[in-house]
Amino acid sequence: MNAFREHHEHSIRASYRCFDRILLNGLIQPFQQPERVVGFFSFYRQQFPVSRKVLTDIADQFSNWVKNRSEKWSAPILEEPEGRRDDFLEPYFKKAKPDQVVAILKAREPARIMTAIGTPKENRWHLQMAQRWVVQYNFYVNDARWGKMFVRMCPFFPFSARVCLNQHHWLANRMREENISFNKSSNAFLKCGNFDRLQELADSLTARDLLTCGQKWLTAFTPFFNERERKQASCQHRLFFAQVEYCDNLIFHRRLHWMRLASACWMPTGPLANLTRLRSSSDAGSPAVMKVSFRPRSKTCTCQIQSSAVIMATAS
């Protein structure tokens, strides 16, 4: 990345660094131990033993709650699409209001759930955690501060979860608040009225911003617990980083000038796209996208060209 930047420094119009996709796993830590689950049901719910039927009924209640909320929120429950989920859900975010659940996607995915093993006739059970493929619900939300995001909830106790955030959406909302003009295409700002302020905003992100958003929606999507249980029995999710993507974005002055520089010093590893077609589609107003790979001796990097700018995507 440094060698690329140094070689083309005269062609770089602007640059910024920020997080992109942030995946957070959520779990209720006390309930990862079966004995504490037994204690919770015995003390707070006067339920003993915790049988297979008890756990199954909890999952059924959650599914019924999702159907009820779907109608109240006017958020359709959708089946797993064949293509990319982001592209499939994009139309549902149009004209979405702040903090609105726009859609709920149902998909079969792996999760750690509590299982009960025993004999129904004797009503003797013991609990253990197990990995299972179960139907989970992905709540797609237009958060007031973070913009587009989703929360995946497992309906089976103890309600394992995943929160997906994107700092590009967060930055877009911050710049709207400060009336900074920008042009955002996918996960990149191709134009910005103040790139220095953009970088300052990107650097201002804190762990509290992640926790506040995550806890707000995880609490909303776990109706099984009441306020007393949340406070006294710590029935709330803890968040752990599962995946974090960090971007170093370079915005170039002109596409064709960059292509001349790159082709003179770097060896293409694949066929180049048709520049005439790329230029015509950009002029028509639809952002054209072209991916080109170059290899500078021992290193390989992939660049993505959108309209008249180049964004550095990956380098190794």
Write the pLDDT tens digit of every residue in 247-262. Answer: 888 888 755 444 444 4
The pLDDT value recorded for residue 255 is: 52
The pLDDT value recorded for residue 291 is: 44
For helices 275-283 and 255-265, what crossing angle results, to 10°?
A: 160
Q: Which residues of the chain have pLDDT under 70?
A: 1, 254-316
The pLDDT value recorded for residue 50 is: 96
Residues 128 and 34: beta-carbon distance below 8 Å: yes
The pLDDT value recorded for residue 265 is: 44
Residues 41 and 50: beta-carbon distance below 8 Å: yes
The pLDDT value recorded for residue 254 is: 59
Residue 246, class by beta-carbon neighbours within 10 Å (0-12 exposed, 13-18 middle, 19+ buried)?
Answer: exposed
Residues 77 and 66: beta-carbon distance below 8 Å: yes
The pLDDT value recorded for residue 197 is: 97
The conformational region for residue 47 under phi > 0 = left, psi -120 to 50 = alpha, else beta, is beta
φ/ψ of 168, rounded to 5, equals -60, -40
pTM for the model stands at 0.80
